[in-house]
Structure 1
Amino acid sequence: MHLTDDPSGRRLGAALAGLFVTFHGMTAHPDERNCECHWGSPDELSLLKTPNVGLDPDLLRRTWQAVDWLDHAAVLRRILPQFAADLVAGRVEPLFGLEEAGDSFARGRWQQWPDDQAGAVREFLHAWWVQSLTDPEAVVPAHQVLAMCAEESGTLGPWLADWDERTGCLSDRRLVEAAQEWECELLGDRLPWYVNWYEHDEDEMRAELVAWLLGPAGRRLRNAGALQDLQHRIRLLGLSGEERWADPHWPGHRY
């Protein structure tokens, strides 16, 4: 996989290499099992208990999507270097949205892993997120990376803080693109991605995202030359009930 030779590309490349070094040689638990009818064969399961063997794309997908591992954390550590590389390259294609991949991270409770392991995961996530904002050749749209990061961590704060620090033209364009993707769902008082992990508060994340869009992000949208219609739709997020629907700029969405 080729990464551009700019600071964000180099950082991401180093983070991927760090995952490989940290998780090289890890395997699923020796007693791990899964349903042969719904997940895969004993031979495929044995691959998860064998270190440093690449998985074919379909097996990798079934592995990270499965919710019924005895030790999900060990399985995630086993596949993490390959899984992360596929995420960055845009080869992970969930059924609904990239937040499904974030849910796999959340189930693994990676923040509770030993410091070197948790640190390697954290650096990868932030490096990938920043690269999606600042690299013109980033493969995965920034709004999808944000949904994944929000789902794996249960919070938007660190990711929005990263965005606040990246104020270049490309990062602003990513903001316009994201706002265009989000405005319809947000005007229906819904978070624009699925929250699957039971410990995460969807309403809290939506409120945080709206507050950010109405505050610093809203000013950036204006400065970036976002269309007036989009600016008005973001402004409408600060209104509620009839006040919102009666506004002359209400887009007429039906929910």
Structure 2
Amino acid sequence: MTSPALTAALHRIDAVFGGMTAPAEGCLHCYGADELALLAVPRTPLGDELLLRFFHKVPDHFTDHAATVRRLLPELFALLASGRRSGVAAPTGLGRTAWRSWPCEQVAAIEGFLDVWWRETLADPEPPYGVGAVWELCVDMHRSLAPVHDVWAAAPRGGTEDRHLGDWVAYRIDELLQDDPFVLPWNMDGEALLPGLRSWLVEHAVPRLAGHPDPLLARKVALLALAPEERWPAYAELIASAG
């Protein structure tokens, strides 16, 4: 069931973007003319499959990609909030637009939905999509780590948010130790964002992982503060000492 806060965020999205249209023009290799025609009809439901096919295509498949994304947002965000579809993944259409340059009320509505959706995902012991998937989508749509990680950092210690953080770090720690840029959405500049991600984890994840079932996890995360030439000898020593 959608929470009151998420319902309010969806109502705001609908108030701002509902009724918008986009040109019924696009790639006729990927879409039928009848499918593209629906973009020009306000509030006509597209259905999950076509909605996602529109939302994940690269911008050059449409004559006005930004207008297409705005047309999709009420139905797309309602789909995300429902948790009924697991096939939503990055990269996203919203992440491929310069939406922060849109009118203020549009920017505020998008920020409001993403913030509530992320907060409620972290607070839910069993979120429909899983924290890792929502993290990736929010990072992709924001094109930034800060709005997502600021919420995590501000969460109370010892709660569900910390358990989710531990699960996410445990799943990703080997890639993080190897400086794998594909920890981040593949269409973002992982090389540029990795230093900030490592620093954030060292500062915020290490103290939150003190009670994690894996007693080495927090110590492994702490190694992210080291340069690779120092990290791997320290890692080998850590593993040896634990054995």
Please report the TM-score for the alignment, with normalisation by the length of structure 2: 0.88
Asked if 1:56 is matched to 2:43, the reply is: no
Instruction: Give, as a single letter, the amino acid of the residue that structure 2 aligns with 1:175.
Output: L
Identity of aligned residues (%): 32
Q: CA deviation at 1:117?
A: 1.1
Q: What residue number does 1:160 align with?
A: 149
Task: Name which of 69, 75, 80 aligns with 1:82.
Answer: 75
Contact kept in structure 1, 2:51 and 2:72, CA below 8 Å: yes
Instruction: Give, as a single letter, the amino acid of the residue that structure 2 aligns with 1:203.
Output: E
Contact kept in structure 1, 2:86 and 2:129, CA below 8 Å: no
Q: CA deviation at 1:64?
A: 0.7
Moved more, 104-113 or 115-124: 104-113
Asked if 1:204 is matched to 2:230, the reply is: no
Asked if 1:184 is matched to 2:184, the reply is: no
Instruction: Give, as a single letter, the amino acid of the residue that structure 2 aligns with 1:85.
Output: A
Asked if 1:127 is matched to 2:109, the reply is: no
- Give the whole-Å Cα distance in 2 for the aligned partners of 1:137 and 1:243: 38
- Point out where structure 2 has 5 or more consecutive residues left out of the alignment: none
Task: Name which of 15, 28, 34 aligns with 2:26.
Answer: 34
- Give the whole-Å Cα distance in 1 for the aligned partners of 2:218 and 2:124: 25
Asked if 1:175 is matched to 2:165, the reply is: yes
- Give the whole-Å Cα distance in 2 for the aligned partners of 1:226 and 1:158: 28
- What whole-Å deviation, never above 9, does each CA across 1:102-127 have from its counterpart, x for those lacking one? xx112222111111111101100111
Q: What residue number does 1:18 align with?
A: 12
- What whole-Å deviation, never above 9, does each CA across 1:116-144 have from its counterpart, x for those lacking one? 11110110011111111112342122222
Q: CA deviation at 1:250?
A: 5.2
- What whole-Å deviation, never above 9, does each CA across 1:76-123 have from its counterpart, x for those lacking one? 1111111112223151515xxx3322xx11222211111111110110
Q: What residue number does 1:213 align with?
A: 201
Q: Secondary structure at the match of 2:153?
A: helix
CA RMSD of aligned residues (A): 1.9
Contact kept in structure 2, 1:99 and 1:193, CA below 8 Å: no
Q: CA deviation at 1:233?
A: 2.1
Task: Name which of 107, 122, 144 aligns with 2:133.
Answer: 144
Contact kept in structure 2, 1:214 and 1:235, CA below 8 Å: yes
Asked if 1:225 is matched to 2:212, the reply is: yes
Q: What residue number does 1:6 align with?
A: none
**Displaced runs of 4 or more, over 4 A:** none
- Point out where structure 1 has 5 or more consecutive residues left out of the alignment: 4-8
- What whole-Å deviation, never above 9, does each CA across 1:148-178 have from its counterpart, x for those lacking one? 2222222212221111111251011111011
Moved more, 156-165 or 226-235: 226-235
1:218–1:118 CA distance, 2 compared to 1 (3 A): same
Q: What residue number does 1:245 align with?
A: 232
Instruction: Give, as a single letter, the amino acid of the residue that structure 1 aligns with 2:31.
Output: G
Instruction: Give, as a single letter, the amino acid of the residue that structure 2 aligns with 1:233.
Output: K
